[in-house]
Structure 1
Amino acid sequence: MQTHLPHLAMLGLALILGGCGDDQQASARTGSAASAATAAANGAVAESLPLGDQQDFEDASRGLIASQKPLKVTDANGRVLWNMEDYAFIEGDAPDSVNPSLWRQAKLNNINGLFEVTKGVYQLRGFDLANISLIQGKTGWILVDPLTTAPTARNALAFAREQLGDQKISAIIFTHSHIDHFGGIDGVLSDAEREHLQVIAPEGFMEEASSENILAGPTMQRRAQYMYGSRLPRSATGHVDTGLGKQQTFGGDIGILEPTEIVSKTGQRIDVDGVEMVFQYTPASEAPAEMTFYIPQYKAFCGAEVVSHTLHNLYTLRGAKVRDALKWSGYIDEAITLFGQDAEVYFGSHHWPVWGKERINSFLKSQRDTYKFIHDQTLRLANAGYTPKEISAELKLPSTLEKNFANRDYYGTVSHNAKAVYQAYFGWYDGNPANLNPLPPAEAGAAYVEAIGGADKVLGIAQQSYDKGQYRWTAELLNHLVFAQPDNQAARELLAKTYDQLGYQAESGPWRDVYLTGAYELRNGPPTKVISLGEIARLLEETPLPLFFASMAASLNGPRADGKQLLINFNFTDLKENHVLQVENAVLHHRIAAPVAGADATVNLTKPLFLKLVTGGAGLKDTLFSDELSIEGSRLSLLEFFQLLDKPQGNFNFNIIEP
């Protein structure tokens, strides 16, 4: 019996890391040179900003104990998971093909090693996208945020022990539910350390850590390849930085650990291995489950990812629920009140610390006011009748905020964050009837091309626009032509060159990667690699079963299911838990209940076997005779049920820049 259960293996939970790198780079056609218009635009940026200000470079280098040379991590098969040597080209002045402000941020994120933040607090930076922080406890290290994967975390901690001594890990703090802050847990703990280990996390951590990307994972995974530039070469015409750090990690085992203590309110005090910490609960800010904390003993404030040396995302381009700008700003204001009068050093989950009460408060207030400004001014303009595109074009930070490098568009941008605020209040519709039910891209493209006078005419106009440096208009024109005629090579190449220029001018690392990945795929096609989720088996073990069945419901093919009625029991014998699945009205319903008598079929299996099926580690055909699985009732009905689920389409490497 062939089933589609492995469809669930493409949930994309860990693949938000940005994919597995390029499967075609050896023969890939690369980008074009920076145009004169791009060189001029980037030159104007350089003149408008105090790029010579060395304060951030002094802070990013302060307290350096040692750097690992080379900082390169491979798995057991020799696959490179992390390599800071890829970014050795980032030195000196920015080339014409990189926005000089982004180049500055990339140089700062290149500064890596083990650093002393203050007496008793250390950070490992540049060993992964995020930071590991080590706090001296009474009996060992309190470890904050163990990176993305076991290999990178293991390497970072081993390097710290070489420099600081071989102390045990006495406690773990997970600041929030994003995978680059918990996934490497299995690389930093021995079996002995797991016993009686103190593990602290915000309320909702386990649920959010395992579920954030389950339902929409395949789409997020594909879009993440664009956002993080995973297929791009590391070069002056390719990926240079995410703005938040160098890149997403490209593989390695991912785990998670159940918290022993939950932070559920602000002001909660916890003794962590002899060190008193005061926690601030900040849900629905940068992550659905997040917290910051203050250490009175060290006068140190950990801002997690609520504050960073970049404007962050209210909406992330890979796709996610819009974050609450007003709450986010409010949490930073609360942190100023709670900790701003005492803290002598700030450190975070990304980037470098800030020292001194005055500088810390200025940093926090600037971040606070940036999010509130975007929120309030978006609403002001919306209430005056402006649409999201108009607000995005109109809204600029005030001069007191925009010259502050920590508020620049390195990761999030004012442009797409303003649209996020609009979306949070008003949704996708801008009120214009023409946008209520527009043509889909391929139909609209064909109509535009015909109206303009044919493909050659469109190409001619686009070339003139390109030559004038009007790249946004050129992209809009050629996008219609490529959707109308995806095999038009002249259109594809000119659009690729246009995306090159837009990418080269982008201050945002994700914007650059999105444009350049679009150009890359116009020249080289979509990816073809099959991605396995075996590396996140431990994380999937903690994922609640209802989420898997919710994902299954999202893969039910409505037209095929029209008129079908089926009732299936999934009975997990090891958990003594039954899940009832019912198809009616082309909808798949799920509930935890006793097995329904007279169901079309009942599948008796264990959760470990189910997870093997989910991750593609086993097929139903191979396990029909296993002691862990049996089928009662109609096997034909069970087969019919699975045939109603969509098969993976090209491993979810669907087209984005063409139909």
Structure 2
Amino acid sequence: MKLSKGVWALVMALAFQPEVALSQQQRAGATEATKAANAAVLNLLPFNDRQAFEDARRGLIAPLPQEMVNTAEGKPVWNPKKFSFLDEAPAPDTVNPSLWRQSQLVQIGGLFEVTDGIYQVRNLDLANMTIIEGETGITIVDPLISAETAKAALDLYTANRGQKPIVAVIYTHSHVDHFGGVRGVVDQADVDSGKVRVYAPIGFMDHAISENVLAGNAMARRATYQFGNLLPADPQGQVSAGLGTTTSSGTVTLIAPTDTISQTGQTEIIDGLTYEFMLANGSEAPSEFIFYMPQKKVLNAAEIAAHMLHNTYTLRGARIRDPLAWSKYLNEAVARWGGDMELLYGQHQWPVWGKERAVAHLKLQRDMYRFINDETLRLANKGYNKEEIAEMVKLPEAIEQNFSARGYYGSYSHNIKGTYAFYLGWFDGNPATLNPLPRREAAKRYVEMFGGADALLAKAREYYEAGDYRWVAEVADHVVYADPGNQAAKNLVADAFEQLGYQAEAGTWRNFYLAGAQELRNGVMALPAPQTLTSDALKATSLELFFDFLGVRLDRAKVEGKSLTLNFNFPDVGETFALELSNSVLNNTRNVQLPNADATITLDRKTLDAITLKQKTMAEAIGAGEIKIVGDGTKLGELFGDLDAFDFWFNIVTPNDAAMK
């Protein structure tokens, strides 16, 4: 048995940063239209406000070491010099000045004192690692993506604050940049012995794994676009993700929590300090909490309040988040602690000092998510569709003029469209959009109606010269889909994508546009797929989810007309499952054994894991007596022979093979 690359694929894609040599001559500079668009941004926003730069540097104890962080085998994990070109230089023509400013801010790294006894290491990964000093040792909050960067962060703290025992780890939420490096700072043995406690919100383990499984391969591939993993870091390429600079590429790990925060208002004493928790599940993550420390009058907002607009819909693909619930969590935080708190910080970017400023920041964040929710619904109730609403919405001046509410990671455009879909789904009510032709078939007809590819491209080039890059990308894309071998069409779309990327304020939009341009020009690179499965991830994958994913992988053409039933027993974990293949679907039922099953398979969960990790083959396990089969054993092989495999490097900006038939 083996799982495909869907399991844990997104986790590993976030940590995938291959060194890619890109042909530089294929990249163009900014056009006059792009220069004008970016220059206009300088007049729109208050760039003379330097408070954020003061805050981002406040409390610096030590800068980041400048040596590359590597794995034990010497593989690069984090390059602290990668974005040094940002520094204090003015924005070049090829970068939106607002995004350039944000990228400069998130580039500021090192060990910082947040307040007495609370420290952060910033820009050693996408997120921050927080270290809280207690009575006997330290508590680590969110140990980054990779074990190597987490260890480097701890080493930087220790070099400046001395060696202290780790007594607890806190995962604020279920995204990999907040737990993946845990084994770089603590050992499983210390957790098992009770020496180190691990705290997480309710549902953490389920969501840390399940969000990345069933659609994991697709999400992971798209994540390489979102984070610009294949782009060079320079003013014509990757400048940041907006949320942070980029993702590390080391060893992703996971240790299960020992303590669960199951309700708002739950209070824990951790190493002599009081933590008041508030659940925020279903906001930025499906499992998330924030916490307040009354002795220090400090609120950790995790990732529900940052210096930017976050994603209520994420471009890599995930379940749409609820902006109304998000705003209500922020409102509740103000109501609970706004009268007492003196400092606000999160697990990305920099803190906000002072009660008045901290509360104002929480309210700003609250109001921008509430605005997205309410204005989208107001206009939807007037009959407008998601594309129209995204163009119509005008931000209140107080939100528009505040850099901490700008769309550096999420954007108002794609969050509004996501909110529309959250409430009303993909269909806008117009029957013309109810059952449109598949993209490739429609493309062929568009090209024909234009009088052929040459005529369409000639007209599209006129729009390009006029600076109408959105329309060029839309219309010339029809030629790409009608004839994927037409390099002139691909080059024109790439040129349009490039200018759109240079103008984009969101780091995610920039990365998507520039990644798309790169692949249109060069094709999908022949790179190894990222390692997509780890022992920690597999251990945390429930058997039900394991079997659900087998159902996703079922090749419907191969199983047409087939039926089979299999019982599975796992004595070491006390679980049983019945699998039934019928009508080209695979159902699984927990705690059931079918009386007339084709076969009953008994094996330990640890044996299943070993086979999945390719530490042994199924035949070897059967030969060693680790798998016992009663009944027709060929049915087991038949089922696994009917599973599909997923190619990680599928096409995004050109048709996939199936679409070309």
Whether 1:178 and 2:175 are equivalent positions in the alignment is yes
Whether 1:499 and 2:507 are equivalent positions in the alignment is no
Whether 1:129 and 2:111 are equivalent positions in the alignment is no
In structure 2, the residue matched to 1:243 is 242
**How many angstroms does 1:23 deviate by?**
6.9
Cα 1:232–1:622, aligned 2, differ >3 Å: closer, same or farther? farther
**How many angstroms does 1:532 deviate by?**
5.3
In structure 1, the residue matched to 2:440 is 442
Cα 1:103–1:296, aligned 2, differ >3 Å: closer, same or farther? same
Per-residue CA shift, 1:523-544, capped at 9, x if unaligned?
1222433335476311221221
SS at match of 1:214: coil
Matches of residues 389-428 of structure 1 in structure 2 within 5 Å? Answer: 389-428=387-426
SS at match of 2:4: helix
Aligned counterpart for 1:345 among listed residues 343, 346, 357? 343
SS at match of 1:458: helix
CA distance in 2, matches of 1:439, 1:226: 26
| Matching residue's letter, 1:515 | Y
Deviates more, 1:565-574 or 1:507-516: 565-574
TM-score by length of 2: 0.95
Matches of residues 27-106 of structure 1 in structure 2 within 5 Å? Answer: 30-70=26-66, 72-91=68-87, 92-106=89-103
Aligned counterpart for 1:525 among listed residues 523, 526, 533? 523
Cα 1:655–1:362, aligned 2, differ >3 Å: closer, same or farther? same
In structure 2, the residue matched to 1:362 is 360
In structure 2, the residue matched to 1:462 is 460
| Matching residue's letter, 2:175 | H
Checking the alignment, whether the CA contact within 8 Å between 1:325 and 1:371 is kept in structure 2 is yes
| Matching residue's letter, 2:72 | A
Checking the alignment, whether the CA contact within 8 Å between 1:9 and 1:614 is kept in structure 2 is no
Per-residue CA shift, 1:145-173, capped at 9, x if unaligned?
11112111111101101110100111111
Deviates more, 1:271-280 or 1:602-611: 602-611
Aligned counterpart for 2:137 among listed residues 140, 147, 154? 140
CA distance in 1, matches of 2:200, 2:487: 52
CA distance in 2, matches of 1:17, 1:397: 34
Per-residue CA shift, 1:255-291, capped at 9, x if unaligned?
222232x222222221111101111111111111111
Cα 1:537–1:30, aligned 2, differ >3 Å: closer, same or farther? farther
Aligned counterpart for 1:585 among listed residues 558, 572, 583? 583
Checking the alignment, whether the CA contact within 8 Å between 1:23 and 1:528 is kept in structure 2 is no
Cα 1:416–1:494, aligned 2, differ >3 Å: closer, same or farther? same
Checking the alignment, whether the CA contact within 8 Å between 2:118 and 2:132 is kept in structure 1 is yes
**How many angstroms does 1:626 deviate by?**
3.1
Checking the alignment, whether the CA contact within 8 Å between 1:560 and 1:644 is kept in structure 2 is yes
CA distance in 2, matches of 1:175, 1:249: 19
Checking the alignment, whether the CA contact within 8 Å between 1:534 and 1:617 is kept in structure 2 is no
Checking the alignment, whether the CA contact within 8 Å between 1:267 and 1:278 is kept in structure 2 is yes
**How many angstroms does 1:426 deviate by?**
0.4
In structure 2, the residue matched to 1:565 is 563
**How many angstroms does 1:596 deviate by?**
3.1
Checking the alignment, whether the CA contact within 8 Å between 2:309 and 2:411 is kept in structure 1 is yes
Per-residue CA shift, 1:198-236, capped at 9, x if unaligned?
222111112111211111101101111111111111111
Cα 1:496–1:14, aligned 2, differ >3 Å: closer, same or farther? closer
**How many angstroms does 1:636 deviate by?**
3.1
| Matching residue's letter, 1:176 | H
**How many angstroms does 1:557 deviate by?**
2.2
| Matching residue's letter, 2:76 | V
Cα 1:7–1:485, aligned 2, differ >3 Å: closer, same or farther? farther
In structure 2, the residue matched to 1:263 is 261
Checking the alignment, whether the CA contact within 8 Å between 2:77 and 2:248 is kept in structure 1 is yes
**How many angstroms does 1:27 deviate by?**
5.7
In structure 2, the residue matched to 1:224 is 223
CA distance in 2, matches of 1:293, 1:579: 39
The percentage of counterpart residues that share the same residue type is 45
In structure 2, the residue matched to 1:283 is 281
Whether 1:113 and 2:110 are equivalent positions in the alignment is yes
Cα 1:26–1:326, aligned 2, differ >3 Å: closer, same or farther? closer
Gaps of 5+ in 2: 656-661
**How many angstroms does 1:559 deviate by?**
3.3
Aligned counterpart for 1:642 among listed residues 632, 640, 643? 640
Checking the alignment, whether the CA contact within 8 Å between 2:96 and 2:502 is kept in structure 1 is yes
**How many angstroms does 1:617 deviate by?**
4.4
In structure 1, the residue matched to 2:213 is 214
Per-residue CA shift, 1:354-409, capped at 9, x if unaligned?
00011011111111100001110100100111000000111121111111111101
CA distance in 2, matches of 1:354, 1:115: 13
Cα 1:317–1:27, aligned 2, differ >3 Å: closer, same or farther? same
In structure 1, the residue matched to 2:659 is none
Cα 1:619–1:24, aligned 2, differ >3 Å: closer, same or farther? farther
| Matching residue's letter, 2:65 | K
CA distance in 2, matches of 1:310, 1:89: 22
Checking the alignment, whether the CA contact within 8 Å between 1:13 and 1:210 is kept in structure 2 is no
| Matching residue's letter, 1:338 | R
Matches of residues 509-658 of structure 1 in structure 2 within 5 Å? Answer: 509-531=507-529, 533=531, 536-648=534-646, 651-658=647-654
In structure 1, the residue matched to 2:481 is 483
Whether 1:162 and 2:159 are equivalent positions in the alignment is yes
Per-residue CA shift, 1:178-205, capped at 9, x if unaligned?
1111111111114664332222211111
In structure 1, the residue matched to 2:374 is 376
Checking the alignment, whether the CA contact within 8 Å between 1:14 and 1:533 is kept in structure 2 is no
Gaps of 5+ in 1: none
SS at match of 2:82: helix
Cα 1:451–1:16, aligned 2, differ >3 Å: closer, same or farther? farther
Checking the alignment, whether the CA contact within 8 Å between 1:493 and 1:523 is kept in structure 2 is yes
SS at match of 2:387: helix
In structure 2, the residue matched to 1:11 is 7
TM-score by length of 1: 0.96
Cα 1:187–1:258, aligned 2, differ >3 Å: closer, same or farther? same
Deviates more, 1:568-577 or 1:614-623: 614-623
CA distance in 1, matches of 2:197, 2:207: 20
SS at match of 2:589: strand
CA distance in 2, matches of 1:535, 1:74: 20
CA RMSD of aligned residues (A): 1.8
CA distance in 1, matches of 2:602, 2:526: 35
Per-residue CA shift, 1:59-109, capped at 9, x if unaligned?
000000001221531102211111121101113101111111000000001
| Matching residue's letter, 1:276 | T
| Matching residue's letter, 1:505 | Q
